[in-house]
A and B are shown apart, each in its own frame.
Chain A
Amino acid sequence: MTDSRPDPIRVAAVGDVHLADDLRGRYAPLLAGISAEADALLVAGDLTQHGTLEEAEAFADEFGVADVPVLVVLGNHDYHSGAESDITRLLEDRGMTVLEGTSTTIDTDAGRLGVAGVKGFCLGFLGRSAADFGEPQMKAFTSHGIETADVLRKALDDLGDEPDVTVALSHFAPVDETLVGEPKEIWPFLGNYRLGEAIDETGVDLALHGHAHAGREKGLTPAGVPVRNVAQPVIQAAFRVYDVVPRRPA
């Protein structure tokens, strides 16, 4: 029996590569010719170790050899030196797309891939999350977590029905299932259930995140959207590839 399903869009992903000069040469040889394996390469934040421009240059040199579109979100490490705007400019000058509450679509041989991205932020998970209550500092912490989910939802809404496959890319985790292996005490600092709600409300086919180095790769949102933690220490490879089958008929 022939498979009547449409050809999949091949999405390569990795996160948490924490590039600096000492890791130069680790990724470039593995990313050259990636178009034989994948239609796009998504990077789930923590591109650098300390968020310096020098480290971003190392990332751009290593990942710039990929011969497919490279789409990234920044992670908390990339904000550490206050150079996130300069890092974004540098990566975009090198032809990469940096998503932060924004989305884009790419034409592939198998159809249109839509990607919405956001760094995300802490908050926690249902029943064990920060509450928008009390001191101004607590409210600021909580409302920032909520706001990042709202901007992800808007970025996903902006994609509409146009893509054949829709991927949500974040640094912080949208579910807690992929955090298993991390100490439970720090889960509220690793992810944010509101990101998962945004994903469930907007027709996402696959959600990718990083940040949880000791977590596990596979999880699901409450509505059943596959979530993959692609932090490099978790996948132990230069990238994973997810072949996502478009919903439209072949």
Chain B
Amino acid sequence: MNEQLARDLERDIATDPRTNELGIRVQVRGDHLVISGEVASEERRATVIEVVREHDTGLEIVDHIMLSAEPGPGGTGHEQIDPSQRR
């Protein structure tokens, strides 16, 4: 039952047009609903939690969502690819 609830919530977070977040995981731990995964902004994190809250689960929501790291400057440490060295 808990497993089903978690999968239903994951599906809703993936398909709700406000979120469409495919990388969010939901687990039921006792009286807690643990939401984890990664999103790109604070606004997107808040919307995921809002979608979860709309389901009256009676469980306490624990927000373990990580924010993606802001991209650092690119270009540091170029990797060299030399096809002539291929085995």
- A residues contacting B by CB (< 8 A) are 5, 8, 10, 12, 14, 18, 22-23, 26-27, 30-31, 34, 36-38, 49-50, 77, 80, 205-206, 213-214, 224-226, 232-233, 236-245, 247
In contact, B74 and A37 (Cβ under 8 angstroms): yes
B66 to chain A, nearest CB (A): 10
| Interface flag for B2 (CB, 8 Å) | no
Report the separation of the CA atoms of residues A226 and B82 in the bound assembly, to the nearest whole angstrom: 10
Contacts of A8 in B (CB 8 A): 80-81
Residue of A nearest to B85 (CB): A245
Asked if A226 and B81 sit within 8 Å, CB to CB, the answer is yes
Report how many A-B pairs have Cβ atoms within 8 Å.
90
A77 to B87, CA, bound (A): 37
Tell me the smallest distance from the CB of B41 to a CB of chain A, in Å.
5
Whether A239 and B23, one on each chain, are in contact in the complex, defined by CB atoms closer than 8 angstroms, is no
Give Cα distance in the complex from A26 to B43, angstroms.
14
Give complex CA distance A18, B41 in Å. 11
- Cβ contact within 8 Å between A245 and B80: yes
Assembly CA distance A239 to B74 (angstroms): 5
A241–B78 CA distance with the chains assembled, in angstroms = 5
- Determine the distance from Cα of A242 to Cα of B79 in the docked complex, in whole angstroms: 5
Taking a contact as CB atoms under 8 Å apart, the answer to whether A224 and B86 are in contact is yes
User: Which 4 residue pairs are nearest across A and B when measured between Cβ atoms?
Assistant: A239-B74, A37-B75, A238-B71, A238-B74
Residues from chain A with a CB closer than 8 A to the CB of B31 are none
Closest to A206 in B: B81
Q: Taking A8-B80, A10-B78, A245-B82 as contacts, is the C-beta distance between A237 and B73 under 8 angstroms?
A: yes
A50 touches B20 (CB 8 A): yes
* Interface flag for B69 (CB, 8 Å): yes
Closest Cβ of chain B to A93, distance in Å, is 25
- 7 other contacts beyond A5-B84, A22-B43, A238-B73, with CB at 8 A cut-off? A31-B74, A37-B75, A50-B17, A224-B86, A237-B74, A238-B72, A245-B81
Q: How far is the CA of A240 from the CA of B70 in the complex (A)?
A: 14
In the complex with contacts A213-B23, A213-B38, A224-B86, A14-B72 CB distance below 8 A: no
